[in-house]
A and B are shown apart, each in its own frame.
Chain A
Amino acid sequence: MSTEAIIGMAICLSITFGGFLVFLVIALRADKDEDPETGETA
């Protein structure tokens, strides 16, 4: 693979999958902090 393609792949994959994972972690953390009784975050 050419260097341009490797750079392109790194950028595209890190933004798309990285972005998805970052929001996934934020959501999981928010769920962990949520009070099951009230639904309020701690």
Chain B
Amino acid sequence: MAEKKEEFSNRWGIILAALGMAIGAGNLWRFPRIAGEYGGTFIILWMFFLVIWSIPLLMAELAIGKHYRKGTFGSLGSLAGKKFNWMGTFVTLVTMGIAFYYSVVTGWSLRYFLLNTQNLINSLFGDGSLNEKFADPSVSYMDNFWASLSNSSWEAVVCYMLTITVAIWVIGKGIKKGLEKTNKILIPTLFGLLIVVAIFAIQMPGGIEGLEYLFTIDVEKFKNPTIWIEAITDSAWSTGAGWGLMITIGSFSRQKEDVTLNTFLGAFGNNAAALLAAMAILPAVFAMAATPTEAIDFLHGGNTALAFTILPQLFAQMPGGAFLSWIFFGAFAMAAFSSILPMMQLIIKNLTDYEIPKKKAAIIAGAACFIIGFPSAWSLDVFENQDWVWGVGLLVSGIFIAFLILKYGPMKFKRDFIDENSDFKVSKYYFASMITFIFFAGIFLTYWWMDQGYSEHPWFDEKGNWNLFDRFSNASIVTQWAAALTIAVVFNGWFYRKFVKK
């Protein structure tokens, strides 16, 4: 008897999975930070690049997955042919690299949710002393808590093991009963929680000033190339375009699904969630900071500092802050968890394509996340290195996917892959020109980010040695990409036989 293919029940299963994949920690800790820094000018460009960069790539990925109904190895390999099969392998390895360290973020988010639950209980039924510690900058409670959690902490290890175990349990239940059912609860709840925080934060004295910073469009700023690059990059990272995750989601799609409409709905939903998060965080930061300059300084603190030290401290200083902080970290944990699910599903789908039973594949994926993610849980430097290496690697993944579509012929691709069963259609000229743009813009963006000089010695250290162990060095990026590419090229034939030809 032929094995019944797993599928989402309907379009909403796909859209919720796409939203869960795209709405992650980045929407809550990166987007509000960048949007607050550059204001409405950035948001306009970020919306523009949703249509220019993210939607064409996401549309193509969903269509590839739906067409071939295989995981990323098999689907991209089928599109690429044997000669370029290694490109699909590289895309998969990059996303796996992200899954390994991202599982640590879900662990941190769980720990912060638990801490805030403890704080809420203490505020409601105890003496509220914990909240006082949170609020007092001279005590540095949150700084110390974050420093101890992010470095050599068994607590962090236990939390991320726990989240991986829950993720395995959810995905092990299958697409309909696992991923789809969980997203039906997570995504609407996440939107609801963000709306609650936004309403509370805007009503705070000074909260409106945050909205002022967020939405003011300064035409002069359009001349600043950095804003353009931040906008296109944030759109790429935030929507998950080029990660191969939409290929995985598409592989479980029913044949009659409308690729174009589902992509647009998912992509705009992601932007709506990001904007909602910014409308929650920016007013809170600006209301609680002594001056707008101090608020901007907070935003310069970086993703993890903003989310894990500044925000809890700011929330603790406001009336009802313990409750609001609890809601915020509940939303944060949900966002992180809903994103790790498709990443693990990507690994599991490839393993099941290799004919490993689903439950065994889920355990293997969980074990891989645990073992390979461990150094990121143990050391913040390793975590930041991995975030940097595979974050920029995603741009390369986008270039590879765009190249494979260009090789097939973008207009032909649109007709054969995207328009099949699509009632809602976009112009073939739009799709073809955007894919061409993505290919060239991706090359430029990769160069730009590597040229940013985040490391004092991008290639060689003071002694002239290859600067591999500097977390932000180009040497580290190139070495780890080279390792992934070597695996992809050396085992190209094997991957092709096992995942494509089979």
Interface residue ranges, A against B (CB under 8 Å): 1-2, 4-9, 11-13, 15-17, 19-20, 23-24, 26-27, 30-31, 39-41
CA distance A39 to B212 in the complex (A): 47
Tell me, rounded to whole Å, the shortest Cβ–Cβ distance linking A2 to chain B.
Answer: 6
Given A20-B268, A23-B261: A7 touches B11 (CB 8 Å cut-off): no
Whether the Cβ atoms of A16 and B217 lie closer than 8 Å is no
Q: Of A9, A15, A31, which is within 8 A of B47 by CB? A: A15
CB nearest to B272 among chain A residues: A20
Asked whether any CB of chain A lies closer than 8 Å to the CB of B300, the reply is: no
In the bound assembly, the distance between CA atoms of A17 and B215 in angstroms comes to 15
Q: Is B275 an interface residue (CB 8 A)?
A: yes
B272 touches A9 (CB 8 A): no
Contacts A5-B211, A8-B216, A23-B268 given; indicate if A30 touches B256 (C-beta within 8 A). no
Q: Label chain A's interface by main secondary structure.
A: helix
* Residues of chain B within 8 A of A41, CB atoms compared: 423
* Contact A39 B256, CB 8 Å, known A1-B212, A23-B265: yes
Chain B residues within an 8 Å CB radius of A39: 254, 256
Which positions 216-263 of chain B face chain A at CB distance < 8 Å? 216-218, 254, 256, 258, 261-262
Tell me which residues from 340 to 365 in chain B have a Cβ below 8 Å from any Cβ of chain A.
none
Is B275's CB under 8 angstroms from A12's CB?
Answer: yes
- B54 interfacial by beta-carbon distance below 8 Å: no
A27 to B266 CA separation, bound complex (whole angstroms): 11
Most chain B beta-carbon neighbours within 10 Å: one of A13, A15, A23, A30: A23
A-chain residues with CB within 8 Å of residue B258 when the two chains form the complex: 27, 30
Q: Is residue B44 contacting chain A, with contact meaning CB distance below 8 A?
A: yes
Q: With a CB–CB cut-off of 8 A, which chain A residues contact B474? A: none
- Sorting the interface of chain B by its residue count into under 10, 10 to 19, 20 to 34 or 35 or more gives 20 to 34
A13–B261 touching, CB < 8 Å: no
Q: In the complex, A23→B59 CA distance in Å?
A: 15
B15, B216, B261: most-surrounded residue (chain A CB, <10 A): B216
CB distance from A5 to the nearest CB of B (A): 4
Contact A16 B265 (CB under 8 A): no
- Which A-B residue pairs are the 6 nearest by beta carbons? A8-B40, A8-B215, A9-B215, A39-B256, A20-B268, A8-B217
Q: Does B458 contact A (CB under 8 A)?
A: no
Inter-chain CA distance A26–B271, complex, in Å, is: 18
B424 interface contact, C-beta 8 A: yes
Q: For A15, list chain B residues within 8 Å (CB).
A: 47
Residues of B within 8 Å of A26, CB to CB, are 261, 424
CA distance A15 to B217 in the complex (A): 15
Q: How far is the CA of A23 from the CA of B211 in the complex (A)?
A: 26
Which of A1, A11, A31 is close to B44, meaning CB atoms less than 8 Å apart?
A11
| 14 interchain pairs, CB-CB under 8 A | A1-B208, A4-B216, A4-B218, A5-B211, A5-B212, A5-B216, A9-B211, A13-B275, A20-B269, A20-B272, A23-B264, A26-B261, A27-B262, A40-B256
Query: Which residues of B lie under 8 Å from residue A20 when comparing CB positions?
Result: 265, 268-269, 271-272
Contact indicator A11/B261 (Cβ below 8 Å):
no
Q: Is B43 an interface residue (CB 8 A)?
A: yes
A40 neighbours in B (Cβ, 8 Å): 256
Tell which of A5, A19, A27, A30 touches B215, judged by Cβ atoms closer than 8 Å: A5
Residue B129, interface by CB 8 Å: no
